[in-house]
A and B are shown apart, each in its own frame.
Chain A
Amino acid sequence: MSEHPKDRPAEPEDPFKMFAGGVEGDPGLMLDCLVEEYSRMGYDADDLIALFDNPEFLATHGLRNLFGPEETRERVQAVLARCGVLRVTVTALPPENPFPCHGS
């Protein structure tokens, strides 16, 4: 019976091998900081939870997988209860057409 792939030693030219190692840190602080950042841009709890739920956003979704959906929601709400949501009004002058190739 051949050796299982997971038990085989890494090949020297294997492009998939890990190069760098982990360093101790606090993912909870990371989550708090990200929530504060986006609350400064006007994201409320629902907007933020949507960021955490979306698997396309690796940073926030990774934290959601780490803490679980319930704890993530609780943590988001705890940060917002402390720092609030900054309401900002952004005006581009003149208003920009994001798709200029498709007419005004």
Chain B
Amino acid sequence: MPDVYNWQLGRRMSYPFEERHPDRQFAFVFNINRCIACQTCSMACKSTWTWSRGQEFMWWNNVETKPYGGYPHGWDSKLLAMLEDVNPGGQTWGYQDDKEHEWPYGSFEGLTIFEAAERRRLEPQSSRALGYLPSEAEWRAPNMHEEVAHGPVKKQGDRPGSVELPEHRVWYFYLQRICNHCTYPGCLSACPRQAIYKRPEDGVVLIDQSRCRGYRKCVEACPYKKSMYRPTTRTSEKCIACYPRLEGRDQAAITPDGTPVETRCMSACVGKIRMQGLVKIDAEGKWQKESEHPLYYLIRERKIALPLYPQFGTEPNGFYIPPRWVPRKYLEQMFGPGVKDAIEQYSCPDRELLAVLQLFRATQRVLFRFEVEKGPKVGEVEVTMPDGRKKTQVIFNDTARGFDAKGEEVARVTIEEPTWTLPAEHLNSI
């Protein structure tokens, strides 16, 4: 297999095809800290793209509860176990602080899904990535039993013969998932028909429906299980990054001038957790330095948004701001060793980071640049740090401005001031 460079692992790795990169890459940041599991994104996607016969169990966007759930059931724990089986005890991260190397999170010393397939000498040759084909049952009933701590509490005896079900008294968080439009897609590597391709203009990964014969090798090879089989057409389908909106060609969208608009799942988000963008890629596959691009700033400069399971080796282009309340070991397995630093920065954001975070979902247009206009200090607040201690955060009257592909200002968010409401018993105390 040829050698390709994976910047998330900070090293070269095996991949079935030669390295080739798009001019820009579709990428996104999901802020897990804000998700309240309303599933509006899932329904926005479903009602747009997967409402037809044969797509009943097909959720290009899904939100699953961790640590209990997954769609399909157990997708990540199964693949992690398979990798551990191929390389027992070796799936570890090494050095983190080494200025001589370019690894952003640390050096990954284990095997990617492509390297594990090589070591195991998988047959047939189309099995170029370690993976598995989920059963039909595993695709069914997403979110079922993921957490039961919701809805009206029913007690034993509320209805004849009823029993009281246990509720989790432990933490959980929600993981929002769409196709990661990976730089080195597992699905693309495995397709025996070469029906899967990555668009040179935006890096979106698509399945050519006229070439697909439904062999399901992509379903097997995608480590995130975001390629799905449709029995009525006998082809596989996947998230298309709402490319008509990305191209500014969606007539129902808000930009008749053709500037890119966010995908359906992003623009419907109630909790304002999502931001997408198109980042510039150079010929070597590295992100071109764009400090004023909100995604470059969050992902490459501040490193507060991290890739999901970077150790799989596909270089996913979806990034997550990890939740502050979750035990670190669990998060490190999921997002790599950059978790500690990301959460530390995010818990008490400085003025520039706070301003950029306010731009999430301020507009439906895709942002290409931001500016922060600095204002005077307006107050101090106390925030919770990852270890539970409190820290003082200084608030400034700053304004974050967002600009679209044509350089037009399309969003402006001003932080006015922190305010406090007096408790009722003190209302007349002045």
- A72 partner residues in chain B, CB cutoff 8 A: none
A62 engages B150 (CB within 8 Å): yes
Task: Give the dominant DSSP class at B's interface.
Answer: loop
List residues of B (400-419) whose CB comes within 8 Å of A's CBs. 408-419
Task: Out of A6, A58, A100, name the residue touching B37 (CB < 8 Å).
Answer: A58
Task: Out of B33, B74, B253, B408, name the residue touching A37 (CB < 8 Å).
Answer: B33
Residue of B nearest to A46 (CB): B421
B170 near A: Cβ within 8 Å?
Answer: yes
CB distance from A17 to the nearest CB of B (A): 8
B326 engages A15 (CB within 8 Å): no
B88 near A: Cβ within 8 Å?
Answer: no
Number of chain A interface residues as a range? 35 or more
A80 engages B421 (CB within 8 Å): yes
Complex CA gap A91/B400 in Å reads 10
List residues of A (1-39) whose CB comes within 8 Å of B's CBs. 6, 13-27, 29-30, 32-34, 36-38
Given the interface pairs A30-B171, A62-B147, the reply to whether A15 lies near B416 with Cβ below 8 Å is: no
Complex CA gap A93/B66 in Å reads 37
B67 near A: Cβ within 8 Å?
Answer: yes
Chain B contributes a number of interface residues (CB within 8 A of A) equal to 77
Task: Out of B38, B140, B362, B384, name the residue touching A57 (CB < 8 Å).
Answer: B38
A87 engages B417 (CB within 8 Å): yes
B423 engages A77 (CB within 8 Å): yes
CB distance from A3 to the nearest CB of B (A): 15
Residue of B nearest to A11 (CB): B137
- A91 partner residues in chain B, CB cutoff 8 A: 411-414
B151 near A: Cβ within 8 Å?
Answer: yes
- A44 partner residues in chain B, CB cutoff 8 A: 421
A59 engages B35 (CB within 8 Å): yes
B254 near A: Cβ within 8 Å?
Answer: yes
- B145 partner residues in chain A, CB cutoff 8 A: 16-18
Which of B48-56, B89-97, B214-222, B375-383 is found at the contact surface with chain A? B375-383
Given the interface pairs A56-B38, A93-B410, the reply to whether A36 lies near B383 with Cβ below 8 Å is: yes
Task: Out of A26, A66, A87, A97, name the residue touching B254 (CB < 8 Å).
Answer: A97
Using CB atoms and an 8 Å cutoff, list the residues of chain A in contact with chain B: 6, 13-27, 29-30, 32-34, 36-38, 40-41, 44-45, 51, 55-63, 65-66, 77, 80-93, 96-97, 100-101
5 A-B pairs closest in CB distance: A25-B171, A62-B149, A84-B418, A58-B37, A19-B74
5 examples of A-B residue contacts, CB within 8 angstroms: A27-B171, A34-B34, A59-B172, A65-B153, A90-B362
Given A14-B137, A27-B170, A88-B415, 14 extra CB contacts under 8 A: A15-B138, A26-B325, A30-B172, A51-B36, A55-B152, A59-B174, A65-B167, A83-B381, A85-B419, A85-B421, A86-B419, A90-B413, A91-B411, A92-B410
